[in-house]
């Protein structure tokens, strides 16, 4: 009897990478503790109280574990062939939510069934990564071909467009996270560097002025030509590249001033001011920025102690247990606690990359990088937002933010990889 149980146990968890599981469990646990802390302890009766958000979150966590177990039980070989179908189904659900969804805060992102609400966009992230991994695992896959590049872009563009229609900018933007994965598998690196350079130039344009940026471009081009002692043809190429960049900067400037709605523009301006160290418009648009910085900043070295946070309880911070859950960690556990969570996330990411590199299956390898890219993007943007480094984009902190949809989606995302990893010696697709 005893040995039998042990055998079964071993069966489910054989070859499992406990490091990823434990890191996942740490994040989920600290997440729930933080949700509990932002909740109302004065009416506390028990942690399963489904009228309270911590009670609901506990239910979501239990269900997420059930889902994780199911994934561990299922045959990993069925995943790659099913990828396109899952992708198709999720896109259909994104269409359906536009028609049958419930409108919350002027965006149709939710399926409401009784007391439960599902956000298909969260699951669409998983589906998109699956589809990309499936497509990219083909033997003749070559990202330097234009057609391949266009197809990959198309796989992202479809759900992106559908999510933008809701509209939910945050959930849509994260679909571009897999550019990191593409980079690993052969994307011409200048796409990445070019995008980063342009982003930097745009930020500089907003922080200082268009003329500074134009001057910077001209000087860079001139220096490059001089230092590299460029030949005539190369020089012309660099000059035209510089000119194109200048045109792009002007186009961006024009778009920013004429193309954006006032509130979008102000939001970006507040973010830029914040980067320059100014707490601007803390009453309206800058409110979240400021209040979350106050909450985290008041934590000090070791924090105020669990449940002793004040900022995250008084409704100073909107979405304090969803998008701004990191504030609670920062306030109650201080610098030490914050760095612990940051480290756990980065360790998890590193572990995923590490495991992805040893996969035999091309699909698992690519998929692993997809998981890491999505988690990385969410983590950096979300934490960056709470400490004023990135703009306020409404995306959750994986495994920690309150909400069933995102918890399940990220759990499914990770456990599909864990399961693939368990079977890395078996030759799959």
Partner 1 sequence: MNVKRDRYFGRQYFFLVLFIVVWVALGMRLLSIQVLNDQYKRSSMVISIREEIEIPARGVIRDRHGVELVVNYPVYDLMVVAREVKPFDTLLLCRILDLDHLYVREYLQRQMRDPYLRVNRGVIARQLPIDQIGKFTEFQFRFPGFYVQERTMRRYPIGVAAHTLGYIGEVNQGVLDRDSYYVAGDYIGISGIERSYEGVLRGEKGLRKRLKDKFGRDQGPYLGGEEDIQARAGLDLYTTLDAGLQAYGEQLMEHKIGSVVALEPSTGEILALVTSPTYDPNLLSGRERAKNYHTLLNDTYRPLMNRALQAQYPPGSTFKMVNALISMQMNALRAETRYSCGGAFHMGRLTVRCHGHPGPTNLAQSIQFSCNTYYCYNFRDMLDRSNYPNTKAAFEVWRAHALSFGLGKRFNNDLPFGLAGNIPTSEFYDRYHGSGRWRALSIISLAIGQGEILTTPVQLANIAAVIANKGHYFNPHIVKSIGHPDSLNTAVRERFETTIDPHHFEPIIIGMRDVVLAGTARNAYIPGITVCGKTGTAQNPHGDNHSLFIAYAPMENPQIAIAVIVENAGYGSTWASPIASLMIEKYLTGEVKREALENRILNSKLIKR
- Annotate each residue in 318-337 with x if it binds partner 1 (CB under 8 A) or - if it does not, as one string: ------------xx--xx--
CB of 344 to partner 1, least distance (A): 11
Identify which range of 60-68, 96-104, 261-269, 310-318 contacts partner 1 by CB under 8 A.
310-318
Sheet holding 116-118, edge to edge: 102-104, 107-113, 116-118
- Closer residue to partner 1 (CB): 234 or 357: 357
| Sole binder of partner 1 in the list 338, 364, 401, 405 (CB under 8 A) | 338
158 binds partner 1 (CB under 8 A): no
Report whether 420 contacts 367 (CB < 8 A). Answer: yes
CB of 9 to partner 1, least distance (A): 27
> Taking phi first (over 0 means left), then psi (-120 to 50 degrees means alpha), and beta for anything else, what does residue 393 get?
beta
CB of 176 to partner 1, least distance (A): 16
Distance (Å, whole) CA 407 – CA 122: 9
CB of 242 to partner 1, least distance (A): 26
Cα 237 from chain centre: 36
| Sole binder of partner 1 in the list 159, 170, 299, 370 (CB under 8 A) | 299
| Sole binder of partner 1 in the list 311, 328, 411, 420 (CB under 8 A) | 311
294 binds partner 1 (CB under 8 A): yes
Distance (Å, whole) CA 101 – CA 110: 5
Q: Which of residues 162-221 bind partner 1 (CB under 8 A)?
A: 180, 183-186
Identify which range of 92-100, 112-120, 262-270, 346-354 contacts partner 1 by CB under 8 A.
346-354
Residue where the block lists tokens 């995008």: 195
- Closer residue to partner 1 (CB): 280 or 362: 362
Identify which range of 35-43, 74-82, 103-111, 165-173 contacts partner 1 by CB under 8 A.
35-43
| Sole binder of partner 1 in the list 154, 167, 300, 318 (CB under 8 A) | 300
Distance (Å, whole) CA 94 – CA 109: 8
Rounded to the nearest 10 degrees, the angle between the axes of helix 362-386 and helix 404-422 is 150
- Closer residue to partner 1 (CB): 78 or 339: 339
State the DSSP H helix or E strand holding residue 96, giving kind and residue range, or none if neither: helix 79-100
Distance (Å, whole) CA 371 – CA 178: 9
286 binds partner 1 (CB under 8 A): no
Beta pairing class for 107-113 and 116-118: antiparallel
Residue where the block lists tokens 């149980």: 5
Distance (Å, whole) CA 181 – CA 169: 21
Distance (Å) of CA 143 to CA 194, 288, 376: 17, 40, 22
| Sole binder of partner 1 in the list 4, 7, 42, 139 (CB under 8 A) | 42
Distance (Å, whole) CA 370 – CA 349: 11
Identify which range of 67-75, 121-129, 164-172, 308-316 contacts partner 1 by CB under 8 A.
308-316
Chain positions contacting partner 1, by CB under 8 A: 40, 42-43, 180, 183-186, 282-283, 293-301, 310-311, 314, 330-331, 334-335, 338-339, 342-343, 346, 349-350, 353, 357-358, 360, 362, 372, 376, 380, 383-384, 387-389
């Amino acid at each position: 009897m005893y040995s039998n149980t042990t055998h079964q146990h071993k069966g489910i968890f054989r070859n499992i990478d406990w490091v990823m599981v434990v890191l996942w469990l740490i994040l989920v646990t600290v997440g729930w503790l933080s949700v509990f802390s932002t909740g109302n302890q004065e009416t506390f009766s028990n942690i399963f109280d489904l009228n309270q958000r911590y009670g609901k979150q506990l239910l979501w966590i239990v269900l997420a574990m059930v889902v994780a177990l199911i994934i561990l039980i299922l045959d990993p070989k069925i995943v790659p062939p099913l990828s396109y179908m899952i992708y198709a189904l999720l896109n259909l659900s994104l269409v359906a939510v536009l028609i049958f969804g419930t409108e919350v805060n002027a965006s149709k992102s939710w399926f409401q069934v009784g007391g439960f609400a599902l956000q298909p966009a969260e699951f669409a992230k998983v589906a998109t990564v699956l589809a990309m991994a499936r497509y990219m695992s083909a033997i003749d896959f070559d990202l330097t071909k234009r057609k391949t590049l266009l197809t990959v872009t198309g796989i992202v563009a479809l759900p992106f467009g559908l999510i933008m229609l809701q509209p939910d900018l945050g959930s849509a933007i994260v679909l571009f996270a897999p550019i990191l994965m593409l980079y690993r598998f052969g994307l011409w690196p200048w796409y990445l560097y070019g995008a980063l350079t342009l982003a930097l130039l745009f930020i500089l344009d907003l922080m200082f002025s268009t003329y500074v940026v134009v001057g910077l471009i001209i000087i860079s081009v001139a220096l490059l030509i001089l230092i590299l002692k460029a030949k005539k043809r190369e020089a012309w190429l660099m000059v035209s590249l510089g000119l194109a960049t200048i045109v792009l900067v002007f186009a961006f400037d024009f778009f920013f001033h004429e193309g954006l709605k006032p509130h979008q523009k102000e939001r970006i301006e507040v973010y830029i001011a914040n980067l320059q160290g100014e707490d601007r418009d803390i009453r309206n648009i800058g409110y979240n920025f400021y209040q979350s910085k106050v909450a985290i900043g008041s934590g000090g070295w070791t924090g105020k102690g669990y449940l002793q946070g004040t900022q995250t309880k008084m409704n100073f911070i909107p979405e304090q247990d969803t998008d701004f859950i990191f504030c609670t960690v920062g306030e109650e556990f201080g610098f030490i606690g914050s760095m612990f969570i940051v480290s756990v996330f980065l360790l998890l990411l590193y572990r995923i990359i590490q495991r992805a590199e040893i996969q035999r299956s091309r699909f698992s390898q690519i998929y692993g990088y997809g998981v890491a890219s999505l988690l990385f993007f969410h983590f950096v943007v979300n934490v960056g937002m709470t400490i004023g480094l990135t703009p306020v984009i409404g995306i959750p902190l994986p495994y920690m933010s309150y909400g069933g949809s995102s918890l399940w989606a990220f759990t499914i995302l990770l456990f599909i990889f864990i399961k693939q990893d368990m079977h890395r010696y078996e030759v799959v697709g």
